[in-house]
């Protein structure tokens, strides 16, 4: 049951690959809340993933676009506005990929050509879509744009490799573009920094299961699920967050501000046979 938080709103959702994807859950929730959406992903993801089924179920057109290609993005924003017959109210950037992480290259043995690819796909694509949208005046006054980030932008996490630097860049683009777009067009731009979540991209990080369980133990509220992430994104797209912009918003059950929790302490004591005083 929705609450019509997004009634009459039109949005583009980048990055739904399969039913585990964070973008998949956001797409479902946005439509449940009354939005009309266009789904997009790279041509290869359209061939390999299940996005066509999602599009059919949600009555959402699917448009192929490589988010690193300015030409593809220009076509996407033009076609989406034609389909909607109006400007766009919200956009989700849910895109991440590091060829260095995929190839198991450690942070002190990076391939720089691959690092450039990591940045282009995972962060610069956000700048490209914002620049294309602004040049086309594609986003309606008061529109809301959200990208998904991870706390590795602020703290080190073993195995996250150059994705950590990509997330820092993503959050920096959010601040810098948010300042311009807010002032000129009233458009807000934020990142939601999500808990570890079992998705295709997430599970690609070495030791992800441990990451996931560690965060779950530390966080007083436990890890935030993909469905809960979708709830938060919908709230960010809604009119209830009209003055929130240029923020990195932690959606992580309290992980980011916890030093040690009772759960984690008990786990640690068990693992190392330490007697609690």
Ligand X SMILES: NC(=O)c1ccc[n+]([C@@H]2O[C@H](COP(=O)([O-])OP(=O)(O)OC[C@H]3O[C@@H](n4cnc5c(N)ncnc54)[C@H](O)[C@@H]3O)[C@@H](O)[C@H]2O)c1
Q: Which of 38, 60, 95, 145 binds ligand X (CB under 6 A)?
A: 95
Q: Which residues contact 54 (CB under 8 A, 6 or more apart)?
A: 16, 19, 24, 27, 28, 39, 60
Q: Nearest distance from residue 269's CB to ligand X, in Å?
A: 27
* Cα-based distances in Å from 269 to 64, 227, 235, 261: 51, 32, 39, 12
Q: Nearest distance from residue 86's CB to ligand X, in Å?
A: 24
- Binding of residue 35 to ligand X (CB under 6 A): no
The smaller minimum CB distance to ligand X, of residues 160 and 181, is found at 160
Q: Which of 200, 241, 258, 267 binds ligand X (CB under 6 A)?
A: 200
* Cα-based distances in Å from 124 to 179, 187, 197: 17, 19, 23
Stretch that binds ligand X, among 31-39, 82-90, 192-200, 232-240 (CB under 6 A): 192-200
Count of beta carbons in the 10 Å neighbourhood of residue 255: 24
Largest Cα span, the chain: 67
Q: Nearest distance from residue 125's CB to ligand X, in Å?
A: 6
The smaller minimum CB distance to ligand X, of residues 96 and 178, is found at 96
Q: Which of 13, 31, 76, 121 binds ligand X (CB under 6 A)?
A: 121
DSSP annotation string for 194-243: EPP--SHHHHTSTTHHHHHHHHHHHSTT-PPPHHHHHHHHHHHHSGGGTT
Q: What sign for the dihedral angle of Cα 200, 66, 187, 116?
A: positive
Give me the helix-helix angle, 22-32 and 226-237, nearest 10°.
50
Nearest Cα neighbor of 143 from 28, 27, 16, 10 is 10
Q: Which of 15, 55, 178, 253 binds ligand X (CB under 6 A)?
A: 15
Stretch that binds ligand X, among 75-83, 92-100, 110-118, 230-238 (CB under 6 A): 92-100
- Binding of residue 55 to ligand X (CB under 6 A): no
Q: Nearest distance from residue 272's CB to ligand X, in Å?
A: 27
The smaller minimum CB distance to ligand X, of residues 150 and 255, is found at 150
Q: Nearest distance from residue 208's CB to ligand X, in Å?
A: 7
The smaller minimum CB distance to ligand X, of residues 111 and 216, is found at 216
Nearest Cα neighbor of 32 from 262, 269, 237, 277 is 237
- Binding of residue 197 to ligand X (CB under 6 A): yes
Provide the binding-site residues for ligand X, judged by CB under 6 A. 15, 17, 21-23, 41-42, 45, 66-68, 94-97, 121, 148-150, 194, 196-197, 199-202
């Amino acid at each position: 049951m929705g609450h019509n938080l997004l009634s009459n709103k039109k949005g583009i959702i980048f990055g739904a690959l399969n039913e585990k994807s964070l973008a998949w859950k956001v797409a479902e929730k946005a439509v449940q809340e009354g939005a009309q959406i266009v789904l997009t992903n790279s041509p290869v993801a359209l061939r390999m993933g299940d996005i066509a089924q999602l599009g059919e179920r949600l009555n959402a057109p699917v448009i192929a676009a490589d988010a690193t290609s300015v030409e593809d993005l220009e076509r996407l924003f033009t076609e989406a506005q034609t389909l909607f017959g109006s400007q766009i109210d919200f956009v989700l950037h849910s895109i991440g990929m590091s060829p260095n992480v995929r190839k198991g290259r450690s942070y002190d043995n990076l391939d720089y050509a691959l690092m450039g690819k990591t940045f282009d796909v995972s962060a610069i694509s956000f700048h490209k879509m914002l620049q294309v949208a602004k040049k086309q005046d594609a986003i309606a006054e008061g529109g809301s744009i959200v990208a998904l980030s991870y706390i590795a932008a602020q703290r080190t996490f073993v195995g996250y490799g150059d994705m950590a630097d990509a997330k820092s860049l993503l959050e920096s683009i959010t601040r810098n573009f948010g300042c311009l777009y807010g002032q000129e067009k009233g458009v807000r731009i934020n990142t939601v920094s999500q808990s570890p979540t079992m998705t295709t991209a997430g599970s690609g990080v070495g030791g992800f299961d441990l990451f996931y369980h560690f965060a779950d133990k530390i966080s007083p509220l436990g890890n935030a699920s993909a469905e809960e992430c979708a709830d938060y994104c919908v709230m960010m797209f809604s009119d209830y967050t009209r003055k929130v912009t240029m923020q990195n918003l932690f959606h992580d059950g309290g992980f980011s501000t916890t030093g040690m929790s009772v759960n984690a302490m008990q786990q640690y004591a068990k693992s190392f046979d330490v007697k609690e005083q």
